[in-house]
Structure 1
Amino acid sequence: MVVYQSNSTNKRSRGFRVRSLSHFAERRVQSQKLPSHEDTYPEPGKSKVTEEKPRETRDEWVISIKDKVNKARGDVTASTWDKLCIYRVPHYLQEDDKKSYFPQTVSLGPYHHGKEHLLPMECHKWRAVNMVLEHTKKGIETYVDAMKNLEETARACYQGPICMSSNEFTEVLFLDGCFVLELFRGTKEGFTEIGYAPNDPVFAMGGLMHSIQRDMVMLENQLPLFVLDKLLELQPDTVYQPGLVAQLAVKFFAQLMPTGEELTKMDKVESVDLVGDNGELHCLDVFHRSLFKSTRTPDGKSLKKSMSSRKQQLIHCVTELKGAGVKFRRKKTDKLWDIEFKKGYLKIPKLLIHDSTKSLFSNLIAFEQCHANSSNDITSYVIFMDNLINSAEDVSYLHHCGIIEHWLGSDFEVADLFNRLCKEVVFDPRDSYLSKLSGEVNRYYSRKWNSLKATLRHKYFNNPWAYFSFSAALVLLILTLVQSFFAVYAYYKPSS
């Protein structure tokens, strides 16, 4: 009996609390005037018009619109788009993988300056500045004044407004520029030789160097090359010549090269000659040109970009091409674009894939998508490889042929890397420098006789013993036919 009363009491108390809370919620909804379902989701064909008190007259409204138009016209005429070369990565590219486009260790330039996770590197930048001043025996005023004179031109290299004061922007150019030059100088001469400790956490070939190199080839993390040129020119012991910074950059980024062969001395000289002393360039563009040697295609014809997002196949995958009799071979060259198809053999230079390859290719593709004067060589190459690689089996076979070497966990990860790289890229296969070669491969693939030969070879002659068995059977068949012939011949023409 006591238990029952207690339960009744609890039920009544809970009911009172529920009614109280319900009443409180109703009062709160009324006081806040929350929108009803009809307000939030109006019926089709009806639109809710909220009446507001007129804040300005029609003439004032028209004048404000004219002011906006005039401002836009002034922005267009005052803009220097011919210098624009450092871009914000479009959102459609970075949507699924922001880490590949944003620096994780060091910031260069204004876009990511001051971000919390990059602040620990700032003290090391000032160490580089101190080393530059001690090395050159020049006052800091000389460098700051030189950067001040380049401020307007440098701002024009960046997409969108830079929300920094003149002094802040100049300081970023000076600080980051000295840091980059010290990295270049240490790579060329040796970090211990120029005064850094062997166990330095930054200025050494170990430690954070690989992460720094990866961040320095990101599109949003760049300095105009002419800024580095000017800082290097101010150093008294340097015999300055056009293209020297580009030469140092090529040497610094050599470890990131995805080619299987090391750049020859002649190729390095050619790479430097092509980038020259162009103020529109930066480290990512230098890296791009060192891979493809030029902003033009190998046959010397410029590529025209096409604003087409059609998903077209450039070439069949490895498994399908093997079934049609196409044979794969590694081409011994460091020229990444030098792919050849001849007499059924598709020869491809070796591709080295490491943990920075995805970020590297992603930013190179983003640069080609954004920069009007850039070729689409990297995009063409990556899409070509993406078409070849559909599965881990395709990667395994290319690895067996010596075409792909990777340091990732599995062949599946390599296949997934290529399948994701060009997911949202605007590209027309007809504008690829590999379109002609792909057409030749596809025509070879379409010939039935090639498929039949490949089927016979893969199914019946897939090991040396099959050839011996076939040869023995063929000899036995010939002997049987000869024996039968003489038997028949003796029957119709017996000996006299």
Structure 2
Amino acid sequence: MKSDESTTDGSKTVFHKLALPNNIFKFIFGEVYKRKVFFNYEKRLRLQSPPEKEVEATSWKYLVRDTYHSTPTRPIKTTEQTNLMSSGKPDEPNQLPETSSTHPFLIYISEPEDEELGNDVMQSSKNEHRSQSLEIDIKALEIDIKEMMIKSRRPPFPCCIYRVSPVLRDVNKKAYTPRTVSIGPLHHNNKNLKGMQAVKFQYLEQFLKRATKTAMLNELPHWGDPMGFVTSLDTDLQIGKHFSCLERFLGLLKSTEGDIWNSYAEDDLNHITLEELLKIILVDSAFIIELFLRFHFDPSRLTPFEIASIRMDLLLIENQVPFFVLENLYKEAFGSYPNIYPNILELSCEFFEPYNDQKMQIQTMKHFTDLLRTFHLPITTDGENGSNGGTPENDSKNREPDDSNEHLKSATQLYAAGVQFNVSSSKCTLDISFSKPKLEIPCMHIYDDTEVIFRNVMALEIYHYPNKTLICDYVLLMDYLINTSEDAELLVEKKIITSRLGSNHQVASLFNRLGRNIVKGINDKKLKGLVQALNAYYDTPWHTTKATFWLKYFSTPLKAASTTAASLLLLLALIQTVLTGIAL
């Protein structure tokens, strides 16, 4: 082995020339790797160091050059090898010369004169790179956290329209899907409802004509019959296609676009843009307003089937527009003439009047599903509804912890224990009372659409009124009472339930389905107390014994007559026996 001394970049460097055969190539590469001067180290060091400091930081050099073009005893360097040594930069690993069985390799290994200095430079480069990476990561993380906090802020106008989760939908998928008309963005792309799009645009045109004619009333003081002028939709009066009010309505929606967007759950609007949403809201809102006005001024233009089918679709929780949009558009179009146009709240209650058994005077609502829920709530002391028109209901004063929930006995079991079922004269669904031994329940009318109504109101309570699930509690109470067709038959017999479903078994199945996948246990303080009182009455042995005796001997007139006759005969026989004993 021979050694030469040379100077590179002002430092003393010792080069070792090794003439090696190809069969020990792997061994040499392994030794070079152990000394940390091979290809991967140079590449890693270059990545860790800033580009402008690469030459200074890289004091370790490795040199692997081309084969020599002469015999092994007298090597001659190529031009490429000479250029490499003068530049002091190694080739990349993928630029290594190909090996040959007839040519050995010449490997130059450059070692620094001061090894500790090289280690310090390398460690300093690593620390600097790590510091820069850490600084970048922290800044990026800070930005991400701030964005997440901003997105998680509750919007000023809370969400009130929801898409039902699969847990609820899987029990009855049809209960949440419109069948005739889509309202709002959630079912806008339903292919089965595309036929109504043309009808909605026709209603939009008539709504704009009506609004334009109403605005012209100030310009026509000589018009004798303003009602006839406004309601005569077939009279064009040179309105044509230039609906001047359309721009005002679009501007009105644009001014409340944030509240409209926030009325829907964020994930439900990923498929549309804000402009598309405003277009949908305008068309659907105009359709609803024109529908209500036709129903009020000229109901003969609508068939009973159309009214029933559209009315049911307008009650679905996924098929809603925010009510404040209807209020704003209606006020902008017709608010100046209250002597002609009733309030939009009055029109809404008029259209949904079949569900308003208590004849409530509604003051506010979020949408029509919320209106339907309000119809079933108790009337407050001022005669108005008790619906919350603001943020989601979080009032827990009427709610108790779930740890004391009890399962109520069925109707037939309670009846066997002496509980007397009576129909209440109250029109409020929730007005249920128990005064020993009488249990009074308002009459419930069950139709084909009863399940749809209850499911959508219950879904609204689960999402928007989680601490005031009054309708859910009522349904759960009825599910407790009705387990079998015999339970349903008892309540039908007592006129607590009137059904058009066809059989008592269908009534029992209805309430058993409604009770699935909803809140576990009754939360309302009043209804929970009623359940506990009924269970306590049932657990008293004397009540059960007395009721059993009554049911066995006096439950029907025939049984009562037979029992009375047998008692009289027994009494006469006893008297005769006593008199006979005295005579003897």
Taking structure 1 as the reference length, what is the TM-score of the superposition?
Answer: 0.75
SS of the aligned residue for 2:194 comes to helix
Residue of structure 2 in register with 1:252 after alignment: 351
Q: Specify which structure has the bigger relative contact order, considering alpha-carbon pairs within 8 angstroms and separated by 6 or more residues.
A: 1
Residue of structure 1 in register with 2:145 after alignment: 69
Residue pair 2:401, 2:523 contacting (<8 A) in 1 also: no
Distance in 2 between residues matched to 1:95 and 1:311, nearest whole Å = 29
Given the alignment, which residue of 233, 244, 248 partners 2:331? 233
Q: What is the CA deviation profile of residues 331-353 of structure 1, one whole-angstrom value per residue up to 9, with x for unaligned ones?
A: 12321111122231211111111
Residue of structure 2 in register with 1:154 after alignment: 260
The aligned runs of 1:181-330 (5 Å cut-off) are 181-192=289-300, 196=301, 204-236=302-334, 238-239=337-338, 244-255=343-354, 257=355, 263=357, 267-268=358-359, 270-273=360-363, 275=364, 281-292=366-377, 293=379, 294-295=385-386, 303=397, 313-330=406-423
2:273 is aligned with 1:165:
yes
In 2 relative to 1, CA 95–473 (structure 1 residues): closer, same or farther, beyond 3 Å? closer
| RMSD over aligned Cα atoms | 3.0
In 2 relative to 1, CA 271–313 (structure 1 residues): closer, same or farther, beyond 3 Å? farther
Distance in 2 between residues matched to 1:81 and 1:383, nearest whole Å = 34
Distance in 2 between residues matched to 1:71 and 1:413, nearest whole Å = 52
Distance in 2 between residues matched to 1:485 and 1:363, nearest whole Å = 72
Given the alignment, which residue of 394, 403, 407 partners 2:487? 394
Deviation at 1:170, TM superposition (A): 1.6
2:216 is aligned with 1:118:
no
Residue pair 1:377, 1:432 contacting (<8 A) in 2 also: no
Aligned positions, number: 407
Distance in 2 between residues matched to 1:62 and 1:229, nearest whole Å = 48
Deviation at 1:489, TM superposition (A): 3.2
Deviation at 1:371, TM superposition (A): 0.8
Distance in 2 between residues matched to 1:168 and 1:307, nearest whole Å = 44
Residue pair 1:246, 1:272 contacting (<8 A) in 2 also: yes
Deviation at 1:72, TM superposition (A): 0.7
SS of the aligned residue for 2:304 comes to coil
Distance in 2 between residues matched to 1:242 and 1:445, nearest whole Å = 56
Q: Which amino acid aligns with 1:244?
A: N
In 2 relative to 1, CA 452–313 (structure 1 residues): closer, same or farther, beyond 3 Å? same
Deviation at 1:324, TM superposition (A): 0.7
Q: Which amino acid aligns with 2:370?
A: D
In 2 relative to 1, CA 241–154 (structure 1 residues): closer, same or farther, beyond 3 Å? farther
Deviation at 1:189, TM superposition (A): 2.7
In 2 relative to 1, CA 412–487 (structure 1 residues): closer, same or farther, beyond 3 Å? closer
Deviation at 1:366, TM superposition (A): 0.8
Residue of structure 1 in register with 2:517 after alignment: 424
Deviation at 1:403, TM superposition (A): 1.3
Deviation at 1:289, TM superposition (A): 0.9
Residue pair 2:399, 2:525 contacting (<8 A) in 1 also: no
Residue pair 1:303, 1:431 contacting (<8 A) in 2 also: no
Residue of structure 2 in register with 1:354 after alignment: 447
Greater radius of gyration (CA) = 2
The aligned runs of 1:45-56 (5 Å cut-off) are none
In 2 relative to 1, CA 391–430 (structure 1 residues): closer, same or farther, beyond 3 Å? same
In 2 relative to 1, CA 61–391 (structure 1 residues): closer, same or farther, beyond 3 Å? farther
Distance in 2 between residues matched to 1:486 and 1:480, nearest whole Å = 10
Residue of structure 2 in register with 1:471 after alignment: 564
For structure 1, list consecutive stretches of 5 or more residues without a partner in the other structure: 1-56, 197-203, 492-496
Taking structure 2 as the reference length, what is the TM-score of the superposition?
Answer: 0.64
